[in-house]
Structures are given as C-alpha cells and as structure tokens.
C-alpha cells in the first residue's frame, strides 16, 4: 500500500533552511506537526509524489507544498507576497471603518469579521483576530448582487483576481490527483468546483495582534475547514493541529502541535466536503490558531487563506462511481445538505455573540459540537 512507502515528513534539518528572514525565529523546542512536504514541480511529473499527496490527504489532511522551481508556483508565491503587503493596509482602515463591511446581519459570512466576535472554546472565550473574507463571486463578476467592499480592495482588484484564478488552478490540480487515486470518472471533482459558478470560494486575510503575555488565549478556535481544499500562507507561527491517534507515538495522547511556516511553501489542507464526498476516506483535520510561539509572540500575525468550496448547489454526500470510496454502512444516513447551507451553518454558528452572556456563549459552543 502506498502509505507504507511514505514515511518522510519534513525533517528539522530540511526545514531549518526555510526560515523566513527578518522575522524572529520560530523556536526549536516546540512540538512540530508531522506534515509531509510535497513539491508542485514533482507533482506534475512524478507518480510517487502523487501517491504521497493521496496518503497525506488520508492520514492527516494537511501537507506542505513547495511552490519553488515551478513557473506557476513561483507566480502564486509572488502574488501571495503582494497580498501580504495588502494586509496591513486593509487593517489600517480601522475597525470602525471595516465594521461597515460586516454582513452577518444579512446572513452572510463574506466581508469583515470584527475582533472578538466569535466564540473559540468551551469557556465561551472570544477570538483574538479579525479577518476579511473576499468573495470570489464578487471579484470575478459572478455575483448577481455583489456586496460593497473597501475601495482599497477594488483598487487591488487585478491582484485579487489573479490570485483567485491561480490559487483555484492549484486547487484543480490537487483535485485531479485525488480524482485519479479515488478512481472517480475523469473530472468528477473539478466539475463540482467550477470557478465560473456561484460558490463560497474566498480569499481570507487574517490579522492577529500580539497578545498580553499574562493573558494568552486562543486567537482562532479549533475547527475543521468546511469546504474542499484550503491553500494557506503563513509566515509567523501560531497555527496548530491536533494529529489523529494514528500519527501519535504509541502510549501518548494526541497533543496540539505547531505547523512551522516555511518559505516558498503553502500549506494545503482538506475540508469537510472532501470527507463527505469520500465517506470518511479523506481527512479534514482539526486545527486552531494560538499566540505565536517564542519570540514570535511579539509580532502581529497576518495569514492568507484561499478557501475552495463546492459550488453552492452541490449536495455533500458520498460520490458515486468509485471502487475506492467506502460504501455506506447499512443504516448510515447522509445529511444531504447542499454546500451553500453547510458552509453558512458552520461559518455563522459561533458568530452571533453580541449581547450574549458568558453562560450563553458556553452553551452555544457546546451545541456547535466542537467538543472540549
Ligand atoms: O491563520 C491560519 O494560519 C489558519 C487560519 C484558519 O485555519 C482558517 O481561517 O480557517
Ligand atoms: Fe481553518
């Protein structure tokens, strides 16, 4: 089986040379998540690399992808760099200004989410980040009724559009590899993720300011991503994953481990839609964001995410036509929600916190099923 030949994760020696210059170092004494490090250029020509992608998608649902030495990869790195430059400018507009673009009251998760407005844990604590969701449909001219966004984003529309197209092309390549290993009819997965159709695809730019050292809290609560494939660029640490028992040393309990940001790489992770399409064969792993480790804690942390979700009308259930995807068990019921309903439910359920008491927040967390 492919998984047996694939044991190489990113070893410390390999990844030390990939530290970001001009930032405080990522500490060497914190537990590091067991992500495989794949290469985009190899993925294009090497069947073994493709096997590794499939294994990583089943075992952990998270991997690094080296984008260097590949023309399209280098272009995406360059655009991601530029979007990192846009982050501070966006948040310099100020919370009051950005609040005008919070569309929660219209039932949408697109636009701005203010600092401290979502519940992050069973104690009912509130988050320590703000983020802006830039909808693909608004920027690629697909929305019938686009939301208004800050002028700064329209001024940077060409960059945003290029990045959306190129991140989506990478998602399609990953979906095609998965499609092959799942023995699905050709193009099954990409035909559920056409960029020209209405979907919840978005760029997210997250800002987490340094926290008071005496009061460190989770910045972004633990979750699995709701969509299909997430392309993530990190520079400062803080992202953590809780590996499954299968990747935890025998006799030890799974513990939260940091994903170390690597220059020239993005982090790819799978979301719930891929789990539902494959009846649990592929994995969407739990992750969260905490205060950056070591000396990095004094930095403002920005991160850049591209979420690819299935088209709005796609029903999230086991895909037909594969002899690799496990069959439904007798009596196993699928929820059968469509992508639009699922994403909205998951994205909004912990955000309606205004005027809630701590007790009410605790209860809402409990009801969300995200556990302790
Ligand atoms: O900021 C990060 O590194 C991760 C963000 C994340 O998990 C999310 O926005 O879903
Ligand atoms: Fe996430």
- Report the complex ipTM: 0.99
What is the position in ligand 1's atom list of the atom closest to the CA of 225? Answer: 10
Q: 326-361 burial, b if ≥16 CB within 10 A, otherwise e?
A: eeeeeeeeeeeeebbebbbebbebbbebeeeeeeeb
pLDDT at 8: 46
DSSP code per residue over 278-335: TTTSS----EEE-SPPGGGGGSPEEEEEEEE--BTT-B-SPPSS-SSSPPPPTT----
pLDDT at 118: 87
- Please, are residues 266 and 200 in contact by the beta-carbon 8 Å criterion? no
Burial class of residue 137 in the structure, from the number of CB atoms within 10 Å of its CB (0-12 exposed, 13-18 middle, 19+ buried):
buried
Residue located nearest, by CA, to atom 4 of ligand 1: 239
Q: Which of 235, 258, 287, 343 to mutate to test the pocket of ligand 1 (most atoms within 8 A of CB)?
A: 287
Residue located nearest, by CA, to atom 1 of ligand 1: 303
Give the DSSP H/E element, type plus range, for residue 139: helix 136-139
Domain boundaries, the chain: 10-328+343-368
Q: Which of 234, 289, 346 to mutate to test the pocket of ligand 1 (most atoms within 8 A of CB)?
A: 289
What is the position in ligand 1's atom list of the atom closest to the CA of 303? Answer: 1
Give the DSSP H/E element, type plus range, for residue 152: helix 151-155
Distance (Å, rounded) from C-alpha 257 to C-alpha 33? 5
pLDDT at 2: 35
The fold of 10-328+343-368 is: Jelly Rolls (2.60.120)
pLDDT at 174: 98
Q: What is the mean pLDDT of residues 113-140?
A: 93
Higher pLDDT, 259 or 122: 259
User: Residue 266: pLDDT above 60?
Assistant: yes
Distance (Å, rounded) from C-alpha 304 to C-alpha 80? 7
User: Residue 4: pLDDT above 70?
Assistant: no
pLDDT at 367: 83
pLDDT at 164: 98
- Please, are residues 80 and 166 in contact by the beta-carbon 8 Å criterion? no
From ligand 1's centre to the CA of 16, what distance in Å? 23
User: Residue 347: pLDDT above 90?
Assistant: no
From ligand 2's centre to the CA of 223, what distance in Å? 6
Q: Which of 62, 80, 239, 269 to mutate to test the pocket of ligand 1 (most atoms within 8 A of CB)?
A: 239
CB atoms < 10 A from the CB of 148, how many? 12
Which two three-digit tokens encode residue 323?
């002899």
Distance (Å, rounded) from C-alpha 221 to C-alpha 126? 9
Distance (Å, rounded) from C-alpha 200 to C-alpha 220? 20
> Measured between alpha carbons, how far is residue 236 from residues 27, 153, 295, 327 in Å?
11, 24, 10, 41
For 37-78, write each residue's pLDDT tens digit. 999 999 999 999 999 999 999 999 999 999 999 999 999 999
Which two three-digit tokens encode residue 36?
């495989």
pLDDT at 307: 98
- DSSP letter assigned to residue 247: G
- Please, are residues 288 and 273 in contact by the beta-carbon 8 Å criterion? no
Q: What is the mean pLDDT of residues 320-331?
A: 96
From ligand 2's centre to the CA of 348, what distance in Å? 14
Burial class of residue 140 in the structure, from the number of CB atoms within 10 Å of its CB (0-12 exposed, 13-18 middle, 19+ buried):
middle
- Please, are residues 341 and 316 in contact by the beta-carbon 8 Å criterion? no
The set of protein residues with a Cβ atom below 6 angstroms from ligand 1 is 204, 206, 220, 225, 232, 234, 239, 287, 289, 303, 305
Residue located nearest, by CA, to atom 3 of ligand 1: 239
User: For the chain, what is the mean pLDDT?
Assistant: 93
From ligand 1's centre to the CA of 8, what distance in Å? 25
pLDDT at 5: 30
User: Residue 182: pLDDT above 50?
Assistant: yes
User: Residue 237: pLDDT above 50?
Assistant: yes
Q: pLDDT tier at 14 (50, 70, 90 boundaries)?
A: low
pLDDT at 119: 87
Query: Tokens 């967390």 appear where?
Result: 365
For 150-173, write each residue's pLDDT tens digit. 999 999 999 999 999 999 999 999
pLDDT at 10: 61
Q: What is the mean pLDDT of residues 216-222?
A: 91
For 267-282, write each residue's pLDDT tens digit. 999 999 999 999 999 9
What is the position in ligand 1's atom list of the atom closest to the CA of 208? Answer: 1
Distance (Å, rounded) from C-alpha 360 to C-alpha 356? 6
From ligand 2's centre to the CA of 261, what distance in Å? 15
């Amino acid at each position: 089986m492919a998984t047996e030949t694939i044991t190489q994760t990113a070893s410390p020696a390999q990844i030390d040379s990939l530290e970001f210059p001009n930032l405080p170092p990522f500490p060497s004494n914190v537990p590091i998540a067991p992500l495989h490090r794949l290469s985009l250029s190899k993925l294009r020509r090497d069947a073994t690399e493709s096997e590794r992608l499939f294994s990583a998608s089943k075992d952990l649902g998270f991997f690094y992808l080296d984008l260097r030495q590949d023309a399209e990869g280098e272009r995406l790195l360059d655009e991601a760099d530029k979007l990192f430059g846009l982050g501070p400018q966006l948040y310099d507009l100020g919370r009051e200004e950005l609040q005008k673009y919070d569309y929660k009251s219209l039932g949408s998760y697109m636009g701005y989410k203010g600092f401290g407005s979502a519940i992050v844990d069973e104690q009912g604590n509130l988050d320590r980040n703000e983020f802006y969701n830039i909808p693909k449909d608004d920027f690629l001219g697909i929305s019938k009724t686009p939301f208004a966004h800050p002028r700064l984003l329209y001024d940077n529309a060409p960059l945003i559009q290029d990045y959306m197209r190129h991140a989506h092309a990478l998602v399609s390549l990953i979906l095609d590899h998965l499609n092959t290993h799942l023995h699905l009819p050709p193009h099954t997965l990409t035909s559920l993720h056409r960029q020209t159709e209405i979907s919840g695809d978005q760029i997210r730019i997250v800002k987490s300011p340094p926290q008071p050292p005496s009061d460190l809290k989770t910045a972004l609560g633990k979750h699995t991503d709701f969509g299909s494939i997430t392309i993530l660029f990190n520079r400062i640490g803080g992202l953590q994953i809780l590996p499954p028992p299968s990747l935890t040393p025998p006799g030890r309990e799974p513990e939260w481990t940091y994903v170390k940001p690597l220059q020239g790489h993005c982090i790819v992770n799978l979301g719930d839609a891929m789990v539902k399409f494959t009846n649990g064969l592929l994995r969407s792993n739990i992750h969260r964001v905490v205060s950056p480790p070591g000396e990095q804690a004094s930095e403002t942390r920005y991160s850049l995410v591209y979420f690819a979700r299935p088209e709005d009308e796609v029903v999230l259930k086991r895909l037909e036509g594969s002899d690799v995807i496990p069959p439904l068990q007798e009596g196993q019921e699928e929820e059968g929600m469509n992508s639009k309903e699922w994403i909205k439910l998951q994205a909004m359920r912990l955000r309606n916190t205004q005027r809630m008491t701590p007790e009410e927040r605790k209860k809402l967390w409990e009801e969300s099923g995200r556990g302790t």
